[in-house]
Structure 1
């Protein structure tokens, strides 16, 4: 699973000021890529600022729905590879502002694809959606890529629509290139996620405030993975399809069976790793409905690209706690993140992760 493809490549990341985008830009820097980003200004606190990425890459602040500054960046930067992460990523925000969520997640993707259509130098595009794009009957069966799309809530449905838009552009405009895929990732965790309504950021806020963690749905099962697992899968997909366009398509990106845990079990792992009296309580809040179970079958990614996860759920939680304690202490958070990136890449690129 080599990633030396990226050395010297021009790579554009939309949503680079967000949690996953900042980690991805950090990885690309270690891999020797020339990186540009397009996103809204970071919401502080942010991993983007902690890592000092504004000093390390070409950064344009703008709305993904505004085609003019995005087009100018494409003209000036001439990207070879594009990762589209810019999104409204919060399920509850989708209920609060459904029209805005569809506008960003669907039409933002369309704007991005239209820029790609007008720039023949692009070789590879990866659009990041979500594991929630599937029509979920709560059967408990892991979803496969051929299962019907149909996310129910506004966030999930907007991402299902983005999947259809990608397929339309691929079949209508990109038959001769670039190679375009979507990645349907499970729940990612890691240091530097400050978003509301996500399990580990909520855990961190609670313990730092000296309070028990309040879990809305402690029995719900999700496919949890460290953010570096998902991002290196994205990097692998985009690199391999650039060299072999027949590999383009849609891919689930999730953990092995050991990563399929309940929210309560994840909170147990967090409390154990954190120590110092961390605890959680069940506290339903009458919020919007959620599926009891959401699991992914990632055999396609393994079979086609030789990918498999390298960090188990315990390691993922431990790495998240390690970073968070550095950040809370006000020192070493940037070094900790880069150390974790280098450690993961040494496994991924070092022959221990299978063969592609």
Structure 2
């Protein structure tokens, strides 16, 4: 199976947006472990945050900038040159997007536009990867796994904003980046879980908060299915994709990353049961939300990544939950978050 190449990443100048977030903090930690020189650009982290717990600011050049502010982005990146860009910054919460669609579209679409516009001035870029979502597809709730060639869509503001970001990236690629010989691509990741996620309205973070408060976690849609993926599988896929884009220009410009093809679907309720059992917490409780626009069924086909990159996820849903809850248990028992992340990264790499 394809693996991350430390020799490729050593000394590379990488711009990582969203480095103060959950996935971004894992990506920043892993990139610095590989020897990359990381500049992060993102909003101020929420509290609590893996960014602060893991000391990500100490291993990166951290620029606190709102991507919705075009002038601020241009000023922050002026005079800085990068070899590679991993754009992860976004407003990622579905219900937040429903409550504030204007801010969500501003962040996920115009934030991407502002970044790509500045990147057009870069002189040493080798590749750019923009992270969108598994929710970019027009979902008719058929249960069929979506492949990269399927129609884009979105019935809620988050999904629609990410589908719009896909079209935005395609337009910039065709108009500016491809003519300049710079691969610009998108990665569509599944529902990511892992240690250090404290975001509101996220299933694992909700389970952990409820467990620590000795309360039952409340589920809106326990019957819903999602393509669960551990953050290490997800970030590993992104890094393998980005290094391949930089070294093999004919690589496809959009790719799904999700659970191993053929794996059993796991419902929200099943994932919550695994989580509360691992933490010794109270059983979850169901409180339906009849106004919800969230899809009941969602699956993505990640076979293209296996065929083209030789990459596929290593952890099935139960293993991903076990590794996730192990992180939270150890962190609650006083272990250092940065060391925990590095330990799990090294264990994952050694199993390659």
Shorter-chain-normalised TM-score: which range?
over 0.9
The answer for the alignment partner of 2:347 in structure 1 is: 343
- The answer as to whether partners of 1:270 and 1:317 remain within 8 angstroms in 2 is yes
Instruction: Could you list the structure 1 runs, at least 4 aligned residues long, displaced by more than 4 angstroms after superposition.
Output: none
The answer for the alignment partner of 1:3 in structure 2 is: 5
Q: Name the CA distance, whole Å, in 2 between partners of 1:244 and 1:72.
A: 32
| Between 334-343 and 15-24, the greater mean CA deviation after superposition | 334-343
Gapped runs of 5+ residues in structure 1?
none
CA RMSD of aligned residues (A): 1.4
**How do 1:268-283 and structure 2 match up within 5 A?**
268-275=273-280, 277-283=281-287
| Between 323-332 and 163-172, the greater mean CA deviation after superposition | 323-332
Which residue of 306, 310, 315 corresponds with 1:306?
A: 310
- 2:254 matched to 1:253? no
Q: Structure 1 residues 23, 89: closer, same or farther in 2, change over 3 A?
A: same
**How do 1:58-69 and structure 2 match up within 5 A?**
58-69=61-72
**How do 1:174-193 and structure 2 match up within 5 A?**
174-175=177-178, 176-193=180-197
1:322 to partner: Cα distance: 1.3
Q: Structure 1 residues 287, 328: closer, same or farther in 2, change over 3 A?
A: farther
SS of residue in 2 equivalent to 1:27 = helix
The answer for the alignment partner of 1:144 in structure 2 is: 147
**What number of residue pairs does the alignment pair up?**
347
The answer for the alignment partner of 1:88 in structure 2 is: 91
Q: Name the CA distance, whole Å, in 1 between partners of 2:300 and 2:57.
A: 35
- 2:160 matched to 1:128? no
The answer for the alignment partner of 2:18 in structure 1 is: 15
For residues 243-291 of structure 1, what are the alpha-carbon distances to aligned partners after superposition, in whole Å with 9 as ceiling and x for unaligned? Answer: 111104100100024362100111121122222x431122213442222
The answer for the alignment partner of 2:247 in structure 1 is: 243
- The answer as to whether partners of 1:65 and 1:104 remain within 8 angstroms in 2 is yes
For residues 160-210 of structure 1, what are the alpha-carbon distances to aligned partners after superposition, in whole Å with 9 as ceiling and x for unaligned? Answer: 000000000111111232111101111000011111111111111111111
Q: Name the CA distance, whole Å, in 2 between partners of 1:100 and 1:289.
A: 18
1:114 to partner: Cα distance: 0.7
Which residue of 249, 264, 269 corresponds with 1:264?
A: 269
1:346 to partner: Cα distance: 2.2
Q: Structure 1 residues 65, 289: closer, same or farther in 2, change over 3 A?
A: closer
1:329 to partner: Cα distance: 3.0
1:74 to partner: Cα distance: 3.2
The answer for the alignment partner of 2:158 in structure 1 is: 155
Q: Name the CA distance, whole Å, in 2 between partners of 1:323 and 1:178.
A: 38
Q: Structure 1 residues 171, 88: closer, same or farther in 2, change over 3 A?
A: same
Q: Structure 1 residues 266, 75: closer, same or farther in 2, change over 3 A?
A: same
**How do 1:15-94 and structure 2 match up within 5 A?**
15-94=18-97
1:42 to partner: Cα distance: 0.8
1:330 to partner: Cα distance: 3.7
- The answer as to whether partners of 1:270 and 1:321 remain within 8 angstroms in 2 is yes
- The answer as to whether partners of 2:137 and 2:152 remain within 8 angstroms in 1 is yes
The answer for the alignment partner of 1:293 in structure 2 is: 297
Which residue of 326, 329, 339 corresponds with 2:330?
A: 326
Q: Name the CA distance, whole Å, in 1 between partners of 2:265 and 2:15.
A: 32
SS of residue in 2 equivalent to 1:258 = coil
Gapped runs of 5+ residues in structure 2?
none
